[in-house]
Structure 1
């Protein structure tokens, strides 16, 4: 999904959530959850858009209607130390496009 499609979907209140996925190397990838699946935000060359911060995402989407957003980070500590039982869950931290964390 490109930025234009994201704006159209946001205007039509079709976005359930935006996940800002924290990746190794200090960058983020935005994924947009709709009724029919999860879509990565793409740049002008149709490659995943690499973002450097929540602030950059806010600047990029400053004219888009507000929708729920969540920062997703893998819990590396649990992976390194191990867990007694169950899968390792991602940390999901809600944030706003209009106010700082």
Structure 2
């Protein structure tokens, strides 16, 4: 899902929540949860969109309506072995303001 698709789906009310996933090495990626599935947000070339910071994420997500937004930390074992839940994050996200 790219940013335009995310915007369209969030305006339609399809997106349940957003995760800003903190990976090792100071890298952040965005995931959108729709139902029980997680969709990584991709750039125009189809690669996972890299985010520099929480503020950068807020800039990218400025057109979106208010959606639950959480900062979560990746679980190294899930990154290495694959996650059963479809997301490479733990369940203990920290809610942060989107706007």
Instruction: Give the alignment's TM-score, normalised by structure 2.
Output: 0.79
**Structure with greater strand percent:** 1
Count of aligned positions? 86
**Structure ID, larger Rg:** 1
- Listed as ranges, the gaps of 5+ residues in structure 1 are 77-88
Displacement of 1:74 in angstroms is: 4.5
Please show how residues 1-101 of structure 1 align to structure 2 within 5 Å.
1-35=1-35, 37-74=37-74, 91-98=92-99
Separation in structure 2 between the aligned mates of residue 16 and residue 68 of structure 1, nearest angstrom:
7
Question: Structure 1 residue runs of 4+, over 2 Å off?
Answer: none
C-alpha RMSD of matched pairs (Å): 1.8
Contact 1:43 1:49 (C-alpha < 8 Å) held by counterparts: yes
Q: Distance in 2 between matches of 1:15 and 1:65?
A: 10
Per-residue deviation at 1:91?
A: 3.8
